[in-house]
Amino acid sequence: MSQGLFPRDRSWHPPALTPLYKTSVKRSPQAAPLAIPAGAGEQYGPVFDRARLGPRDADLIHNFAAEGQSAIGPRIIVYGRVLDETGRGVPNALVEVWQANAGGRYRHAKEAYIAPLDPNFAGCGRVITDSEGRYEFRTIQPGPYPWPNGPNDWRPAHIHFSIFGPAWGQRLITQMYFEGDPMIWRCPIVGTIPTRQGIETLVAALDVDATVPMDARAYKFDIVLRGRRQTLFENRMEGL
């Protein structure tokens, strides 16, 4: 077991109160959070069994489609690694993703955008990283969509990511954006991240070399979780 987690750099994350993202105004705690030392509860975390995954969980093009059909939209592969702040790959990390369809419409009861649903697309997928922290899934590139915030706000195309590392204290939800999308820099939710440098870490790069000819373009997206301290003694115990 590791001896604690690297402190989270809260100046790097969005603050709780970000008035240009209006919903945060009444949903942001105003007292300072209380820092507590990591105990067993923060350093262990839930374990997910690879056997629970189905064969199409990481194929959003087909996991909701009728037999012989597929989702409409630009076919893409999203791949990368889950790492921690020390640069180590995180094996066995559960990565769950969700997104709108190619027209920017979510399959959700509270969604009101006029763009149509795709009968062959649900918008959810999941994968568990391999022994080196690698993951990969196939999907269609989601569309941008308008949302009620300012009078004319649009989300850039994005994919939501939920990630579990081995420690509860590493739990993270974030979003992936696409290289070259001019909407990124106009979005109030993206703009909650304090620095341009931070935003750029969430922009996936088009990887022409990993593109499968006549099939799907590839985007590379690495995700970094908080680092975990390890002592030399523990390294010996783990045979590293």
Partner 1 sequence: MVQKIDRLKESPSQTAGPYVHIGLTPCFSGISGVYPSDLGTQIAGANAKGEQITITGRVLDGTGTPLRDALLELWQADAAGRYPGQDGVDPAVTGWGRCATDMATGTYTFETIKPGAVAAPDGHLHAPHAHLWIVARGINLGLSTRIYFEDEAEANAADPILSRIEHQVRVPTLMAKATAPGQYSFDIHLQGPDETIFFEL
Interface residues for partner 1 in 125-184 (CB under 8 A)? 126, 160, 162, 166, 168-169, 171-175
Residue 160: active-site member: yes
Q: For residue 162, give the nearest of 94, 104, 215 by alpha carbon.
A: 94
User: For partner 1, which is the closer residue by CB, 211 or 230?
Assistant: 230
Run of H or E including 199: helix 196-200
Please, what is the minimum distance in Å from the beta carbon of residue 193 to partner 1? 5
Please, what is the minimum distance in Å from the beta carbon of residue 62 to partner 1? 10
Q: How many residues bind partner 1 (CB under 8 A)?
A: 81
Residue 106: active-site member: yes
Stretch in the footprint of partner 1 (CB under 8 A) among 178-186, 199-207, 211-219, 228-236: 199-207
Run of H or E including 223: strand 223-225
Stretch in the footprint of partner 1 (CB under 8 A) among 69-77, 135-143, 195-203, 230-238: 195-203
Task: Report 26-85 residues binding partner 1 (CB under 8 A).
Answer: 26-31, 33-36, 38-42, 44-48, 52, 54, 56-57, 63-64, 83-85
Q: Which one among 58, 71, 106, 156 touches partner 1, defined by CB under 8 A?
A: 106
Residue 145: active-site member: yes
Residue 190: helix, strand or coil by DSSP?
helix
Distance of alpha carbon 146 from alpha carbon 157, whole angstroms: 11
User: For partner 1, which is the closer residue by CB, 175 or 230?
Assistant: 175
Residue pair 175/142 in contact (Cβ under 8 Å)? The answer is: no
Is residue 15 involved in binding partner 1 (CB under 8 A)? Answer: yes
Residue 158: active-site member: yes
Please write down the HEC assignment for all residues of 128-166: ECCCCCEEEEEEECCCCEEECCCCCEEECCEEEEEEECC
Residue of 79, 81, 105, 106 marked catalytic: 106
CA atoms within 13 A on the CB side of 164: 17
Distance of alpha carbon 85 from alpha carbon 106, whole angstroms: 33
Supply the residues annotated as catalytic. 106, 145, 155, 158, 160
